[in-house]
Chains A and B, each alone.
Chain A
Amino acid sequence: MADPELEELEIELLLEAVHRRYGFDFRGYAPASLKRRLQRRLRAEKLASVSALQDRVLHDPPTMERLLLDLSVNVTAMFRDPSFYAALRAKVVPLLRTYPFTRIWIAGCSTGEEVYSLAILLVEEGIYERTRIYATDINEVVLEQAKAGVFPLDKMQEYTENYARAGGDRSFSEYYLAGYEGALFARSLLDNVVFAQHNLVSDRAFNEFNLILCRNVMIYFDRALQNRVHELFYESLETFGVLGLGHKEAMSFTPHEQSYDELDAGERLYKKVR
């Protein structure tokens, strides 16, 4: 077994090297999950130590691309937490209806499951036409996957159940075509979606939004980095805009806790009021 203190030092040096060489800053990530992901990459590269990985990452950009995927990809599902989407329909859509045009930011959209889920919901509520969804992620590879809109067929049963529990009353299969490569989702769901690379750690605010969803993305960050991202979201929300977090992400002890009212505390929906 590796010496834990030595490994900690090696990880620190690797993250510093990745930041200086490639500009990706993982130094504020929560250590335990980061370490598990690095260990996975070590096994896949058949390397014995984090230092050896650092050597390869610095001299071989394709290794960096693989590492970036390991460090940045967040696993999710369509209509994950159906009750959250039900609350979006019941409590957020009525707010969005009051605007002639709404801008929504899905921060850390990964492979796009949440983007398609939200687009479907907005189509069904009749407000998709006057919405623009900005879907961003640090990683261009996952953005390409999200744009392609092909998801594994064996997930469709789970997603169909989630969709129904989230208040969907159509046949979920209306939204995709089953093919060899998987379930291809309707291109029209992307009509009002803009995909863009954006790094929550280092990039600035780029627009003002009526709704920001960032679910189960910040759980990989340490508290200090979470606070910085909360700052970014606060700056990016219009007054009375809504922030949606994951079920187990608390707003308490964040810098702008006092600036939000609970729209639905259990579903982690917060309205910016000041």
Chain B
Amino acid sequence: MKLVAIGCSWGGLAALTTVLGGLPEELDAAVVVAQHRATDESLLGSLLQRETALPVHEAVDKQALEPGAVYLAPPDYHLLVERGWIALSTEAPVQFARPSLDVLFETAADAYGADCAAVVMTGASDDGAAGFAEIAGRGGVAIVQDPAEAERSEMPAAALAAVPAATVLPLSAIPQALVEVCGTRSRV
């Protein structure tokens, strides 16, 4: 099983709808998402669940990562990836963000190395760029949403500046790219 780590902020709901909505249930990867969100927001999971065939979980501490499932970083927690499971933390916000994309990506790089694919999408900060570079540095796959089509271009542009060799794609092409990277499991 591989790991897909997706980060986004401003405009992320629409972007996540397109990308998660385009993924097949058989995807041979666990999908972990850090989207900047308000501390008391709790609707993201149910909104996304309507749009995707994959089960969407608001992540719980020590939850096991399963292929073909989506795990959202809960509001007001960092989501850290361990090999095979999730750990949450209430450590201080990183660059004002909790969840932080950098924390997700850096721990994903550590735990999954070259078995990790990272996607940075629309957002109005440079959170995620450092962690994105770490994933690329460990041989992981680096994909950015084309900043030209992103609702806010700052975040994908910062990620692209950190990893100039990253693959630049429109949202509509990202699901297929992830399927090619991760493969699919045969139906049981």
Give which listed residue, A32, A216, A218, contacts B107 with CB less than 8 A: A32
B80 touches A248 (CB 8 A): no
Is B60's CB under 8 angstroms from A248's CB?
Answer: yes
Establish whether residues B59 and A248, one from each chain, have CB atoms under 8 Å apart when the complex forms. Answer: yes
Instruction: Take A30-B82, A32-B87, A74-B90 as given contacts and tell me if A219 and B61 are in contact as well, using a CB distance cutoff of 8 Å.
Output: yes
CB <8 Å contact, A248 and B74: yes
Is residue A56 within 8 Å, beta carbon to beta carbon, of the partner chain? Answer: no
Across the interface, do A250 and B91 meet the contact criterion of CB distance under 8 Å? no
* Residue on B nearest A249 in the bound complex, by CB: B61
Query: How far, in whole Å, are A4 and B85 apart by their CA atoms in the complex?
Result: 19
**Shortest Cβ distance from B62 into A: residue:** A223
Chain A min CB distance to B157 (Å)? 24
Instruction: Evaluate contact between A30 and B87: CB separation under 8 angstroms.
Output: yes
Distance of A125 Cα from B82 Cα, bound (Å):
42
Q: Does A260 contact B (CB under 8 A)?
A: no
Q: What is the chain B residue whose CB lies nearest that of A37? A: B91
Check if B124 is an interface residue, CB within 8 A of chain A: no
Contact status B61-A32, CB under 8 Å: no
> In the complex, are the beta carbons of A31 and B82 less than 8 A apart?
yes
A69 to B111 alpha-carbon distance, docked (Å)? 25
**B151 interfacial contact with A, CB 8 Å:** no
Q: Known: A226-B62, A248-B74, A249-B60. Is A33-B110 also a contact (CB below 8 A)?
A: no
Residue A116 at the chain B interface, CB threshold 8 Å: no
**In the complex, A109→B113 CA distance in Å?**
36
Known: A75-B90, A219-B61, A219-B88. A30 touches B74 (CB 8 A): no
Q: Which residue of A lies closest to B63 (CB)?
A: A250
Chain B positions within 8 Å of A222 at CB level: 62
Q: Which residue of B lies closest to A35 (CB)?
A: B110
A133-185 at interface with B (beta carbon < 8 Å): none
Let me know if A248 and B103 touch, CB within 8 A.
Answer: no
Q: How many A residues face the partner with a CB closer than 8 A? A: 25
Q: Which residues of A contact B61 (CB under 8 A)?
A: 218-219, 246, 248-250
Residues of A close to B77: CB separation below 8 A: 248
Structural contact, B90 and A76, CB atoms closer than 8 A? yes
Check A220 for interface membership: any CB of B closer than 8 A. Answer: yes
Among B69-98, those with CB < 8 Å from A are 74, 76-77, 80-82, 85, 87-92
Are A33 and B87 closer than 8 Å at their CB atoms? Answer: yes
Q: Is B127 an interface residue (CB 8 A)?
A: no
Query: Contacts A1-B137, A248-B60: A220 and B74 contacting too (C-beta < 8 A)?
Result: no
| CB-nearest residue of chain A to B82 | A32
Which chain B residues border A223 with CB–CB below 8 Å?
Answer: 62, 85
Residues of chain B contacted by A246 (CB below 8 angstroms): 61, 90
Closest to A254 in B: B62
Find chain A residues with CB under 8 A from B60 CB. 248-250
A220 to B87, CA, bound (A): 8
A247 touches B62 (CB 8 A): no
A187 to B111, CA, bound (A): 46
Q: A220–B61 Cα gap in the complex (Å)?
A: 9
Option from A4, A32, A219, A226 in Cβ contact (under 8 Å) with B90 = A219
Alpha-carbon gap, A183 to B62, bound state (A) = 36
Q: Does A36 contact B (CB under 8 A)?
A: yes
Tell me the B residues contacting A by CB distance below 8 Å: 58-63, 74, 76-77, 80-82, 85, 87-92, 103, 106-107, 110-111, 113, 134, 137
The 6 closest A-B pairs by CB, nearest first: A32-B80, A32-B107, A30-B87, A219-B61, A216-B90, A250-B60
A-B contact pairs, 27 of them (CB 8 A): A1-B134, A1-B137, A4-B110, A31-B82, A32-B80, A32-B81, A32-B87, A32-B107, A33-B80, A36-B80, A36-B103, A36-B106, A36-B107, A75-B90, A76-B90, A216-B90, A219-B61, A219-B88, A220-B89, A223-B62, A226-B62, A246-B90, A248-B60, A248-B77, A248-B88, A250-B62, A250-B63
User: Chain A interface (Cβ within 8 Å of chain B)?
Assistant: 1, 4, 30-33, 35-37, 74-76, 80, 216, 218-220, 222-223, 226, 246-250
